[in-house]
Homo-oligomer: A and B are copies of this chain.
């Protein structure tokens, strides 16, 4: 491998000069600059990232810590994020975590050991204490969830999410406005202070604002966002328990799809016998039968917000901030006016 010394030697200049050329420092004559660049090209010189990182006591790597879910929504989000990050010359490192692991601890450890310059948290809970948040001493952004519980100062963290509670409320409102009153919910009630909890809250809020009593028998708990088998079984259990509901609100598209299958297998047609509304807005959901009525998360915008924010934080061009996007209703064939 050719290194910076080889270049220096061949050009008859000092190592430091080569370094200056490579890092676009101003104080170098046009002549030496081009001489060095020519040598770099000829010798196919590729700088050694470890050496640079060592002396700079930093790296060019942003970690993406993904938790639990393997939701197609995440796949798209990751794609957008990756594109932006690499476009800006940074590198993205992928880490997957189980639901049981503590993302902040793992993030802190990684940040030190690998000299990360930033962390993107994807999925998981958000019940951090201010003290816990301080564990992470590099810029970080929490994607897809935000501190709606209000116990954190806005300057203490960055986040990108939709207004989950609002989205759920909107989904349920849609159903109510079509005459539905017995509305079941399909949710993953794994952790507290999670997306799931927020959407569940929104569901309850919407019911109460319409004077509909909350019925715990209409809650189907899947325990997962991604395991469609479990979701299917949870829906089947729900039907077995009380099949008087006329609509289901699923907190994720994939849940709705599994639920529709379960309903169909139990002889309930969608939307004739049961309406279904979800949150996510996957492209896929436009191509199911029936197509899904769902609240679309602006995944492209959200991905951009994530990468833009983390890069601004890293380059010290911005402060911590919270993005809250509004999901848009995408009407599909999975809902119908009751008795309609």
A72 sits at the interface (CB 8 A): yes
Q: Given the known A-B contacts A46-B113, A287-B261, are A96 and B75 also in contact in the complex, defined by CB atoms under 8 Å?
A: no
Contacts of A229 in B (CB 8 A): 283
Assuming the contacts A50-B53, A93-B94, A287-B228, asked whether A79 and B70 have C-beta atoms less than 8 A apart, the reply is yes
Task: Known A53-B50, A91-B93, A94-B82; judge A284-B228 contact (CB<8 A).
Answer: yes
Q: Let me know if A70 and B59 touch, CB within 8 A.
A: no
Is A16 on the interface with B (CB-CB < 8 A)?
Answer: no
| A257 proximal to B (CB < 8 A) | yes
30 chain-A/chain-B pairs, Cβ below 8 angstroms: A1-B112, A48-B54, A49-B113, A49-B114, A49-B115, A50-B50, A50-B51, A50-B53, A50-B59, A50-B115, A61-B93, A70-B75, A72-B75, A79-B96, A82-B95, A86-B96, A91-B114, A92-B93, A92-B95, A93-B93, A94-B94, A229-B283, A232-B287, A257-B284, A257-B287, A258-B287, A260-B289, A261-B291, A264-B289, A289-B289
Contact of A228 among B86, B283, B289 (CB under 8 A): B283
Q: Does A331 contact B (CB under 8 A)?
A: no
Q: Does A308 contact B (CB under 8 A)?
A: no
Q: Taking beta carbons and an 8 Å cutoff, which residues of A are in contact with B?
A: 1, 46-51, 53-54, 59, 61, 64, 70, 72, 74-76, 78-79, 82-83, 86, 91-96, 109, 112-115, 228-229, 232, 254, 257-258, 260-261, 264, 283-284, 286-289, 291
In angstroms, Cα B93 to Cα A287, docked, is 33
* A48 touches which of B96, B115, B260 (Cβ 8 Å): B115
A82–B109 CB distance below 8 A:
no
Query: What chain B residues lie within 8 Å of A86 (beta carbons)?
Result: 95-96
Q: How far is the CB of A93 from chain B (nearest CB, A)?
A: 5
Q: How far is the CA of A258 from the CA of B78 in the complex (A)?
A: 23
Q: A91-B93, A96-B83 are in contact. Are A113 and B47 (CB under 8 A)?
A: yes
CA distance A61 to B115 in the complex (A): 14
Q: How many chain copies?
A: 2
Q: What separation, in Å, do the CA atoms of A54 and B57 have in the docked complex?
A: 13
Q: Which of B54, B61, B74 is A51 in contact with, Cβ under 8 Å? A: B54
Residue of B with least CB distance to A291? B261
For A64, A74, A254, A283, the residue with the greatest tally of chain B CB atoms inside 10 Å of its CB is A283
Known contacts A48-B54, A64-B94, A115-B48: A261-B283 contact under CB 8 Å = no
What 3 pairs across the A-B complex have the smallest Cβ distances?
A50-B53, A50-B54, A261-B287
Could you tell me the distance between the alpha carbons of A258 and B72 in the complex, rounded to whole angstroms?
Answer: 16
Q: A92-B94, A260-B289, A261-B287 are in contact. List 19 more A-B contacts (CB 8 A).
A: A46-B109, A48-B115, A50-B50, A51-B54, A70-B75, A70-B76, A72-B75, A79-B96, A82-B94, A86-B95, A86-B96, A94-B94, A228-B284, A228-B287, A229-B283, A232-B287, A254-B284, A261-B289, A288-B288
